[in-house]
Amino acid sequence: MNESLNHENYSHLSPRLAVGDSEPDRNLALELVRVTEAAAIAGGAWIGYGDKNGADGAAVDAMRSLLDTVNLNGVVVIGEGEKDEAPMLFNGERVGNGASGNEDAPEADVAVDPIDGTRLTALGYNNALSVLAVSERGSMFDPSAVFYMDKLVTGPEAADMVDLRLPVKQNLHLIAKAKRKRINQLNVCVLDRPRHSKLVEEIREAGARTRFIMDGDVAGGIAAAREDSSVDVLMGAGGTPEGIVTACAIKAVGGVIQGRLAPTDDAEREAAESAGHDLEKVLTTDDLVSSDNCYFAATGITDGDLLRGVTYSGDRVTTQSIVMRAKSGTVRIVEAEHRARKWESYTK
């Protein structure tokens, strides 16, 4: 094996870069993409080694380190937390340079997923991403420890027509009509899980095609909302945190995400009801993220529907990222080339 590809050469890359005093509304998006680049480079060096915890730990360290340089006073609302038993980037943690004394840093909610698809990374499969979303303080939905929700995500054409409460067949026909496609031309993205056996049966009976993903439905959801994608809609139960992160992206690209909390046990149900959640309510994009002043950034770890994965060649590391600002509707694809040795100096 080429020594330059060994994860030990990259897993320590947690750069601490200086950030200028620029206005956050103009430059925060590019600050955030540097954070996901760092996490993708550190975690991506573990691709194919079969160690998802090692990959996740490297990405968490890199993301947490670089978040300290970002011009915000953020609170992690969606973090590694209870689900991943992580020592950092947990719910309630303060991040950004505002946490270390910058009184001018704007207050913000922060959602992180250093690796959306740790198993994908460990096994070398497609669609692993490093993801970060930021919005105005208090604008992100609090799921009260309900980790799963039923979801429907599709693009702008059908956004005003679909309804999670409708039968699967009816929603698919509405989407096909809005997109001016035949029903047998629709691709429906679904997490490959036993719980989706009935959903898959309904999709196929309606005449549409399924497109399975192993993990990481943030990529699938965003792909479903983008016009240049081969995915028309995402359906099924997936992570509530991922749904909130996806909503930040939907705010920028258009389309819709609808969700309904799906507790997996009595403890989750009781927590949700105690927090005042209506478990029958269909949550809209605006319910999940109430502010239009939000940002989404993601960097590919492995190749996928949304982005190319990180590549390593000697001292050269390349990344592809997407960064979105909902307030302006701006979506940027960022191609970057990094020199590993130069990054190393920031970790000393």
44 is in an annotated binding site: no
Question: Rounded CA gap, 300 and 309, in Å?
Answer: 4
Question: Rounded CA gap, 285 and 227, in Å?
Answer: 18
209 is in an annotated binding site: no
- Nearest partner of 216 among 198, 200, 238, judged by Cα: 238
182 is in an annotated binding site: no
201 is in an annotated binding site: no
104 is in an annotated binding site: no
Q: Are strands 187-191 and 129-136 parallel, antiparallel or unpaired?
A: unpaired
Question: 309 to each of 143, 209, 347, how far by Cα in Å?
Answer: 30, 26, 23
Cross-sheet strand order for the sheet of 148-154? 209-213, 187-191, 233-239, 148-154, 256-261
Phi and psi at residue 320, to the nearest 5°: -125, 130
56 is in an annotated binding site: yes
118 is in an annotated binding site: yes
239 is in an annotated binding site: yes
Partners of residue 236 on adjacent β-strands: 151
Partners of residue 289 on adjacent β-strands: 140
16 is in an annotated binding site: no
Q: Residues 98, 83: contact at Cβ < 8 Å?
A: no
Q: Sign of torsion, CA 68 241 13 312?
A: negative
216 is in an annotated binding site: yes
109 is in an annotated binding site: no
Q: Residues 215, 192: contact at Cβ < 8 Å?
A: no
Q: What is the DSSP letter of 140?
A: B
Q: Residues 200, 286: contact at Cβ < 8 Å?
A: no
> Where is 333: in which H helix or E strand?
strand 330-339
113 is in an annotated binding site: yes
Q: Which residues contact 82 (CB under 8 A, 6 or more apart)?
A: 91, 145
Amino acid at 327: K
CA 52 to chain centroid: 17
284 is in an annotated binding site: no
Q: Are strands 256-261 and 233-239 parallel, antiparallel or unpaired?
A: unpaired
Question: Rounded CA gap, 247 and 283, in Å?
Answer: 11
Binding site per annotation, positions for Mn(2+): 56, 80, 113, 116, 242
Residues making up the binding site for substrate: 116-118, 148, 193-195, 215-217, 239
Q: Cite the annotated binding site by residue number.
A: 56, 80, 113, 116-118, 148, 193-195, 215-217, 239, 242
